[in-house]
Amino acid sequence: MAGRVVFGHEDLMRCRFAVSPLWETFAAVHTLFEPHRQGFHLPWVRAARLPAEVDLEPFRLLLPRPGYVPDFLTPPPLGPLAPIEEELERLRAIPPAQVGAELRACLLDPRRALPASATDPLLADPAATRDAMADLLSACWEHLLRPHWPRLRALLDADVADRSRTLAEHGLERLVTALDGRLTWKQGTLHVESRAAADELRLDGRGLLLMPSAFVWPELILVGDEPWQPTLIYPARGIGELWSPPPGRPPEALAAVLGRTRARLLVALSRPETTTGLAARLGLSPASVSAHLTALRDAGLLESWRSGRRVFYARTALGTALTGENTDPG
């Protein structure tokens, strides 16, 4: 399905990035349900465990294929990164009338022909359903995502940092067309090839929220219904390496020159990452990692830049050459 996002002059200045633990939690549950979404996440899927009392059946009803998925379950974040507790609080504050309208759009879709025995319990009391879904998402977060959040956040933050540089250096058109091959830009309009895209979405000064996701793959989702902030959720760069084991031993010759820890860090920086992210991946202390990264940067092997409160590191061409990796994109 093709959708069009029409930008005005104000919208060009009101695009922003965000990371949402709540969205990742819901999308992770969706991944458990559908094998075609699991390709990059098989190690996580095999390890995923939920207590017997956590019943995911309501989510199966609210994740039709095809069909409308209620937006109230994942309200677009207001800032670049809100704790999931704040996101769940926002969910619980959504007016019951809005929840009820979205539940009806999902559950009473004539294409689904769901029995009343399945839909009535969810439709009878929208406020109670909203709160129950918030509790269920909270349980899924605790058991499925919280243990892996440092790894996931490092991936998502690195994507945002990289895309933000593209936006600053090359502008919005270059940014959006680089996000995904299903996005094209023509005369102030973003064209989206996705089953989850409205025919036409006029931003009308609201701007567009851009959210990388580890678990949205292989889909690309455009949220445009009122009253929600228009949002484009796209697959984050680097998900193919998300569940890979920590980098192995660096080449002996490189370790002999740089020292083993610095060589490990240089090899591990196949994508931009923060001190905290590298420390979590390699099992090192953040203070030690910070000191080694500074030394590598001072030697011209790394570059660094700030995105919000976080500092990202990436290899320079010289640093990549020393690792022996092929830099030829072909």
Q: Which class does domain 245-323 fall in?
A: mainly alpha
Q: What is d(CA 131, CA 174) in angstroms, rounded to the nearest whole number? A: 41
User: In the structure, what pLDDT confidence band is assigned to residue 102 with cuts at 50, 70 and 90?
Assistant: very high
Strand (E) or helix (H) holding 305: strand 302-307
What is the per-residue pLDDT for 282?
82
Q: Note the pTM of the prediction, 2 decimals.
A: 0.78
Alpha carbon dihedral 66, 71, 74, 80, in 10-degree steps, equals 110
pLDDT in tens, 147-169: 999 889 988 988 898 898 888 88
Residue-wise pLDDT for 287-306, tens only, equals 899 999 999 999 999 998 88
Torsion, Cα 154 83 139 74, to 10 degrees, reads -90
For 194-220, the pLDDT digits (tens) are 766 567 899 999 999 999 999 999 999
CATH 1.10.10.10 occupies which residues in the chain?
245-323
Residue with tokens 């409308």: 68
